[in-house]
Every structure is written in structure tokens, then in C-alpha cells.
Amino acid sequence: MNVPAPPASSPGLSLVYIVDDDADMRQTVADILALAGIPVEGFGSGAAALSRCAAGQPGLAVVDQRLPDTTGIALSAKLKSADPDLGVALLTGYASADNAIAAVGLVDEYLTKPVPPDELVHSVKAGLERTRLRRENRRLVARLRELNASLEQDVADSTQEVERLHQQAVADQMARERLQAQAERERLENRLHQAERLESLGRLAGGVAHDFNNLLAVILNCASFVAEATAGDQSVQADVQQLRTAAERAARLTRQLLIFGRQDSAGAETLDLGAILADVQSLLARSIGEDIELIIRPADALPLVRANRGQVEQVLVNLAVNARDAMPGGGTLTISLDTHVLDEDYQRLHPGSHPGRYVALAVSDTGEGMSPEVVARVFEPFFTTKPLGKGTGLGLATVHGIVTEAGGTLAIESEPGSGTTVRAYFPTADTPASPAAITTTTPATSSSLRGQGETIMIVEDEPAVLQTTARMLTRNDYTVLPAATGAQALSMASGHQLDLLVTDLVMPKISGPDLARRIQEIQPGLPVLFTSGYSHDALKPGDTLAEKTPVLQKPFTEQALLENARAALAQRGGRPATRPQNSPH
Ligand SMILES: Nc1ncnc2c1ncn2[C@@H]1O[C@H](COP(=O)(O)OP(=O)(O)OP(=O)(O)O)[C@@H](O)[C@H]1O
Ligand SMILES: [Mg+2]
């Protein structure tokens, strides 16, 4: 039944199954195909062909329509369900339209017996080629699917990896932000603590300094009385001079403490920082010495600021001296000015600062720099890293008081070994210039300041100060009415015609300005000279002082008291000043 293997089957062509119950027919077809080099296997029934189909992997089945166990079309359907790509050629002796229709989609070739050999070979080869192409196609599709699947897997893997990395990055970012927020909070808390500490230190220092001032006034004035009384005694004079020098030094320290505590009553003026810098340039150059190069960087069209001129100069000197001390081996000191706008962010980070336009005075050195621990404490009074006798630790405390009093703020950038920059921000002035609050008359000789018996009421709650002030005026030919309280002053005022009222600015119960107002009701046009160890801030609400109101800062010297008294007397009732006579004591 089996057809012999073809003598020379071409390696490229697959096996062809011939399914026909007619052995002759099978043989004939096999012979024809063998001649064309096509290997053939013959089967007498559909079942036989079907059972071998899976193992044999034929390239084409040539199927007779009439088989003992099935029809060619039915077999074709079964073969296709076993191997969907297998080509089937239906071989039939009867060409019928029914068969042809039934075969559509199931058979690839439709051959009618007798088939001419050429046509048979041609159809078989075409069928084999179609099978090959279908199989190749399926293989390619499968490969493509495989590739696609692995590609999808790769994409899925990479997407997952990207997602993981993204989540990791988000988590890292969140952790970083949390740490930053925490660091920021700690920094802010530190700044706030620092600001609060400075504030309370300021109150303490200011209070102590105020009381000290009264004591120093007594010491200094009594020293001058002793000096006068012992004019001929050289040894006593030397001691008194020492006493005075020490008290004057103490007064300078006290003044710095008052400035730090913002209880110094220096008046604000409208200032051009560029002009001040130009004026003090040579003084600064002298105080830093020759080993340090001084670079000044002024700015064009700088807005004016409101501050006290003397105090701004002090800021410059203190910062320059600190820079000098930080550069013992020489270096560069750069002082620059420019305009800055501090915004709400800056305010948030720097408690106590206010948003607005500022002129920044920056003092930079190339010196040894500071550790963060030192930076945190530099504004504290008496904080110094300098050896005993070299620094008092009041330089930056004073700078802090001055800049804060002017409504400004300070910033320090410093690192050990990398130098220091201190920036003082002064708020720009919107108002035009006005003269200083403190009246200082042109220096006059003591004798030209003597009185002519004018009646001066002195009101002072500190008995020692009251006593020395009274004494200074009495011995200069003034008639003095001393009062220890506002109430006492009021009752005395009703019985006396006064030429001048000298009163302490800040007193319990009745304040200086209040007292002045009430006495002026009885004696209109009475000139007033205020004395004070406090700033205008220390006044009671409602007690405002006109900007030009003279305030004599304690401790004052006899000369300053007489000068101010004379100037105030000149204002009496708007009358021209009575020129004091030069009369010997
Ligand atoms: N430019 C700077 N470079 C390095 N350290 C500085 C600088 N300025 C200030 N310091 C440090 O800050 C401390 C306090 O300075 P501050 O000016 O208040 O006091 P002082 O210079 O020690 O003494 P004083 O100024 O009263 O003579 C200094 O002792 C120093 O340690
Ligand atoms: Mg200093």
C-alpha cells in the first residue's frame, strides 16, 4: 500500500499524503509526484491518514472525495483541525457544484480526475508552498508574539523599576524636605531665642546703666567740686583726676550699655551714609593700620536713611576695629553700601526684621572668621573672645543697639578661616532731614555761662543728682528751687516766678513732659530743659516730645548743664537771650 520513497526527493519539498482507497490511483499519483522529486506516503482510509498526520507532518494531503470511512471534505476538516496550516487537495472523479461549495475554506486545491500529471505536480507544488508559507507565517507570528511578550515584560519591568525609582526619589525628597523644615524650624527658634535673649539683656543692661549714670553724675560732679576746693593741693588734684578718668571711662561703658539697651536718647537725623563713609574714611584707615588694605565701595544714588550720625560713625568704627583685630597678619577690609529690599521671607527667617527698603552697610574682612557658636553670641554685651584688657565685648552689642534703634537689622556671615561680613541694614528715610534732638550750644567759657540770679526749678527724683545739679547751678549764680517729686514741684511753682524748669524726663507719678505742661499753664512761655538717662521710648504713652526739645543726657558735666540752661533761658517767653555778664567768681 505504501508508495516507495521517491528516488530523488528534493530536500526542500515536504511529504505529501495521498489518501485514496484505489491502490492504483495511489500508485499513479505517487509515481507522478516521485518523478517530480516529491516524497509521498499513501493511505487507503481517512482514519489511517489522520492517525499518522500528527507524527508525519505532511506538507500536503491529496484526498479522494470518496473514501470507505469518510468523505474527502470531512477528512479535510479533521486534518485541518489537527494541523490548521496543512494544505489539502481534494481529488474527485465527479466535479459537482455541491462539493465545490462544501470544499470552500477547507481545501486548497480542487482536482478533477483524471488529472493531467503536469497539473497535478503544479497543484501539489503550489499546495506545498502554501503550507510552507502558512507554517512560516505562523512561526513568525509566534516568534513575534514571543518577542512582543518579552518586550512587554521588559517594558513592564522597566516601568516597575522607573516607578520604584520614582517612589524612592519622592520618599528621599520628602525625607530631605522634612529634615530641611526641621533644620529651618530649629534655626528660627534659635534666632528667636537669640532675639529674646538680647531683648531681655538689653532691658537689664539699660536698667543697670541708667542707675549707674545717676551715680556717675554724682561722682563726676563731686570730683569737680573737690578739685575746685583743693585747687592748690597737687596730690589731691592727681587723685581727683584719676577719679574723674575712671568715672569718665565708666560713663563711656554705661553709654554703650544704654545704646545696647536702646535707652540712649540720641536723636535720629536724615543721613547720607555715602557721605558719612567718605568723611570717616581717613579715620578708619588710621584705626586699622597700614597692614590692612581698605577698600571703599560707595553706591550711586543711594537713598537717605534715618539714624543718628554719631552712632552710625560708631557702627563703622566698631566694625572696622573688629575686622582689624581679626586680621593680625594683615588683609583686606572692604566697606560697601548698596540698596536692598528685604521681603517677607527675610522677615520670617530673621525675627525682629521688617520688610522694606534698606541701605545695607557691609563690612567684610579676610580675617580669621568665627565659629557658629561665636556668631550666635556676638551681640551679647560683654561677650568677647579677646584676652583680658583687649576687648570689653561691647562693640557689637552697641552696633546691635544702634541699628535696631534705627529700625534696622543686622546679618553676619562668617566661617572660621574665611573671613567675616557684617551687614547693617538701615531703613531708608521717607522724611526730609531734621536737625538733631539734642541741643548742643557752641562751647563757651565757663564764665560766660554764669547766671544773673535767674530762678531755676530742678525736679529730680534721685536725691544725689538733685543735690549736685542744684549745687552746680547755685555756685554759678542761679537761684535754685529743688524739688524731689512732680507734686512738690507743682506746689512750689505756684508761689514762685520761674525763669527755667529743669526736670527729669522720666519720673514716677507725674512725668517730666506732664509736669512741664502743668507748670506752663501757670507760667506761660516758661522754658524747659529735660534731663534723661532714657530714650524717648521710655516716655509714658501720650508724652510726646517735639523733635527739637532739648534733652540733656545724664551724666552731664557742669559745662553741659550751664550751656543747655543758658540756651533754654534764651527762649524765655520768646524774648531775646539775656547775655550773661562776665563776672569773677
Ligand atoms: N570681624 C570679626 N572677625 C572675627 N571675629 C569677630 C569679628 N567681629 C567680632 N568678632 C568676635 O565677636 C566678639 C565680640 O565682638 P565685640 O566687638 O562685641 O567685642 P570685642 O571686639 O571683643 O570687644 P570691644 O569691641 O568691646 O572692644 C569678638 O571678641 C570676636 O570673637
Ligand atoms: Mg569689638
Q: Over the stretch 521-558, which tens digit does the pLDDT of each residue have?
A: 999 989 999 998 765 445 555 556 665 567 888 888 88
Nearest to 131 by CA among 38, 193, 240: 38
Please identify, by atom number, the ligand 1 atom nearest to the C-alpha of residue 256: 26
Q: Say what the pLDDT of residue 443 is.
A: 36
Q: Say what the pLDDT of residue 167 is.
A: 94
Distance 345 CA to ligand 1 centre (A): 29
Q: Say what the pLDDT of residue 540 is.
A: 52
Say if ligand 1 is within 6 A of residue 395 CB.
yes
The preferred substitution site among 287, 292, 322 for testing ligand 1, maximizing ligand atoms within 8 Å of CB, is 322
How many whole angstroms separate alpha carbon 44 and alpha carbon 25?
Answer: 11
The preferred substitution site among 287, 365, 378, 399 for testing ligand 1, maximizing ligand atoms within 8 Å of CB, is 378
What's the average model confidence in pLDDT over 44-63?
A: 90
Distance 324 CA to ligand 2 centre (A): 9
Distance 412 CA to ligand 1 centre (A): 12
Distance 419 CA to ligand 2 centre (A): 15
Q: Say what the pLDDT of residue 53 is.
A: 86
What's the average model confidence in pLDDT over 201-210?
A: 82
Nearest to 220 by CA among 254, 267, 195: 254
Say if ligand 1 is within 6 A of residue 33 CB.
no
Distance 393 CA to ligand 2 centre (A): 6
Q: Say what the pLDDT of residue 347 is.
A: 82
Are 381 and 205 in contact by the 8 Å Cβ rule? The answer is yes
Distance 265 CA to ligand 1 centre (A): 25
Nearest-CA residue for atom 9 of ligand 1: 322
Q: Say what the pLDDT of residue 12 is.
A: 55
Distance 396 CA to ligand 1 centre (A): 7
Q: Say what the pLDDT of residue 455 is.
A: 94
Write 46-51 long-range contacts (CB < 8 A, 24+). Answer: 46/19, 46/70, 46/74, 46/75, 46/78, 48/19, 49/17, 49/19, 49/75, 49/79, 50/75, 50/78, 50/79, 50/82
pLDDT tens per residue across span 138-179:
999 999 999 988 988 999 999 999 999 999 999 999 999 999
Q: How many residues does the chain have?
A: 585
Say if ligand 1 is within 6 A of residue 334 CB.
no
- Helix (H), strand (E) counts: the chain: 15, 17
The preferred substitution site among 384, 412, 420 for testing ligand 1, maximizing ligand atoms within 8 Å of CB, is 384
Helix axes 72-82, 46-56, angle to 10 degrees: 20
Say if ligand 1 is within 6 A of residue 356 CB.
no
Are 263 and 535 in contact by the 8 Å Cβ rule? The answer is yes
pLDDT tens per residue across span 463-520:
888 988 998 899 889 999 999 999 999 999 988 999 999 999 888 889 899 999 999 9
Nearest-CA residue for atom 7 of ligand 1: 322
Q: Say what the pLDDT of residue 68 is.
A: 92
pLDDT of 81 > 60? The answer is: yes
Say if ligand 1 is within 6 A of residue 358 CB.
no
How many whole angstroms separate alpha carbon 532 and alpha carbon 555?
Answer: 9
Which grid cell is 503?
526736670
Distance 386 CA to ligand 1 centre (A): 8
pLDDT of 82 > 70? The answer is: yes
What strands lie across the sheet with 16-19, from one edge to the other? 40-43, 16-19, 60-64, 87-92, 109-112
pLDDT of 8 > 50? The answer is: no
Band (353; pLDDT cuts 50, 70, 90): confident
Give the range among 49-58, 361-370, 435-444, 560-569 with minimum mean pLDDT: 435-444
Q: Nearest ligand to the C-alpha of residue 419? A: 1
Q: Say what the pLDDT of residue 7 is.
A: 37
Distance 320 CA to ligand 2 centre (A): 8
Q: Say what the pLDDT of residue 445 is.
A: 39
Say if ligand 1 is within 6 A of residue 384 CB.
yes
Band (316; pLDDT cuts 50, 70, 90): very high
Distance 485 CA to ligand 2 centre (A): 41
- Write down the mean pLDDT value for the chain: 85
Q: Say what the pLDDT of residue 102 is.
A: 66
What's the average model confidence in pLDDT over 339-364?
A: 88
What's the average model confidence in pLDDT over 323-352?
A: 90
Say if ligand 1 is within 6 A of residue 393 CB.
yes
- Residue 268 burial by Cβ neighbours in a 10 Å radius (0-12, 13-18, 19+): buried
Say if ligand 1 is within 6 A of residue 396 CB.
yes
pLDDT tens per residue across span 401-430:
899 888 899 999 999 999 999 999 999 986
Please identify, by atom number, the ligand 1 atom nearest to the C-alpha of residue 398: 18
Q: Say what the pLDDT of residue 508 is.
A: 84
Nearest-CA residue for atom 8 of ligand 1: 322
Distance 386 CA to ligand 2 centre (A): 9
Rounded-to-10 torsion of CA 193, 199, 203, 204: 40
pTM of the model: 0.55
Band (324; pLDDT cuts 50, 70, 90): very high
Angle at 486 between CA 485 and CA 490, to 5 degrees: 120
Q: How many CA atoms lie within 13 A of 167 on its CB side?
A: 5
Please identify, by atom number, the ligand 1 atom nearest to the C-alpha of residue 379: 18
pLDDT tens per residue across span 422-473:
999 999 986 333 333 333 333 333 567 888 899 999 999 888 889 889 988 9
Say if ligand 1 is within 6 A of residue 391 CB.
yes
pLDDT tens per residue across span 83-107:
889 999 988 876 666 666 766 777 8
Distance 194 CA to ligand 2 centre (A): 19
Angle at 193 between CA 191 and CA 198, to 5 degrees: 95
Say if ligand 1 is within 6 A of residue 376 CB.
no
Nearest-CA residue for atom 13 of ligand 1: 384
Angle at 168 between CA 167 and CA 174, to 5 degrees: 90
Q: Say what the pLDDT of residue 174 is.
A: 95
pLDDT of 2 > 70? The answer is: no
